[in-house]
């Protein structure tokens, strides 16, 4: 998140943090991808602004923030990592790839965020 450099633009806000987030109470740090295995109830707790504002704001994709999944989404501008960080690509590269390349990355979860490539690259992944 880079409000000073970027302002409140969708391409800046709709990005999950890849860093550890310092949180209050018993659990001192968490990453956005940590809640991908949690139950729906636990996700609601972590993604509720009034309970965990830092987490909810830092993890809009994994939390399913409505602003980020509305009609006109934008592709991520980050370098994406797949296959436990062994393969790096970008939405632009996915958009230029053939059907097999798109299928491979659009239908799998990005390593650092644990969100499907099609969520991070909705335009590049068009029909996948």
3-state SS string for the chain: CCHHHHCCCHHHHCCCCCCCEECCCCCCEECHHHHHHCCHHHHHHHHCCCCCHHHHHHCCCCCCCHHHCCCCCCCCCCCEEECCCCEEECHHHHHHCCHHHHHHHHCCECCCCCCEHHHHCCCCCCCC
Domain positions in the chain are 3-68, 80-120
Q: What does the CA dihedral 63, 68, 70, 71 come to, rounded to 10 degrees?
A: -140
For the beta carbon of residue 117, count every other beta carbon within 10 angstroms.
26
Average pLDDT by stretches of 10, the chain with 128 residues: 58 82 76 82 84 88 82 83 93 93 94 90 88
Positive/negative CA dihedral, 60, 19, 91, 102: negative
The radius of gyration computed from the CA coordinates of the chain, to the nearest angstrom, equals 15
Q: Can you give the pLDDT at residue 89?
A: 95
pLDDT the model gives residue 75: 87
Global pTM value? 0.72
Residue 81's beta-bridge partner residues? 88
Residue 1: its pLDDT value, please?
45
* Predicted local confidence at residue 105, as pLDDT: 96
């Amino acid at each position: 998140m880079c409000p000073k450099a970027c302002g409140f633009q969708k391409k800046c806000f709709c990005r999950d943090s890849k860093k550890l987030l310092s949180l209050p109470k018993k659990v001192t740090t968490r990453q956005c991808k940590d809640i991908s295995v949690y139950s729906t109830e636990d996700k609601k707790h972590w993604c509720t602004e009034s309970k965990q504002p830092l987490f909810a704001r830092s993890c809009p994709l994994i939390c399913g923030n409505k602003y980020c999944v509305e009609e006109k989404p934008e592709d991520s501008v980050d370098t994406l990592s797949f296959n436990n960080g062994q393969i790096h690509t970008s939405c632009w590269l996915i958009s230029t790839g053939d059907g097999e390349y798109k299928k491979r990355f659009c239908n799998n979860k990005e390593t650092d965020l644990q969100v499907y490539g099609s969520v991070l690259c909705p335009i590049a992944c068009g029909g996948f």
